[in-house]
Amino acid sequence: MKSPVGAKLIDFLLTEGLFEIPDPEDRKKGISKPKCKNEKTRSAALKLLQVLSRDVPANFSKVLKFMSDFIQDTPQRTKKESDWAIVPADKEKAASGYVGIFNPGCICYMISMFQ
Please indicate, yes or no, if residue 60 is contained in any of the structural domains. yes
Q: What is the pLDDT of residue 87?
A: 60
Q: What is the pLDDT of residue 47?
A: 92
Please indicate, yes or no, if residue 103 is contained in any of the structural domains. no
Tell me the mean pLDDT per 10 residues along the chain, length 115.
82 86 73 81 91 90 86 64 59 63 67 69
Bond from prior residue into 34 cis (ω within 30 degrees of 0)? yes
Task: For residues 52 and 16, give the distance between their C-alpha atoms in angstroms, rounded to a whole number.
Answer: 17
Q: What is the pLDDT of residue 7?
A: 84
Please indicate, yes or no, if residue 65 is contained in any of the structural domains. yes
Secondary structure of the chain in HEC code, one letter for each residue: CCCHHHHHHHHHHHHHHHCCCCCHHHHHHCCCCCCCCCHHHHHHHHHHHHHHHCCCHHHHHHHHHHHHHHHHCCCCCCCCHHHCCCCHHHHCCCCCCCCCCCCCCCCHHHHHHHC
Please indicate, yes or no, if residue 38 is contained in any of the structural domains. yes
Please indicate, yes or no, if residue 32 is contained in any of the structural domains. yes
Q: What is the pLDDT of residue 91?
A: 57
Structurally, how many domains does the chain consist of?
1
Please indicate, yes or no, if residue 102 is contained in any of the structural domains. no
30: buried, middle or exposed (CB in 10 Å: 19+, 13-18, 0-12)? Answer: exposed
Domain that holds residue 54: 4-76
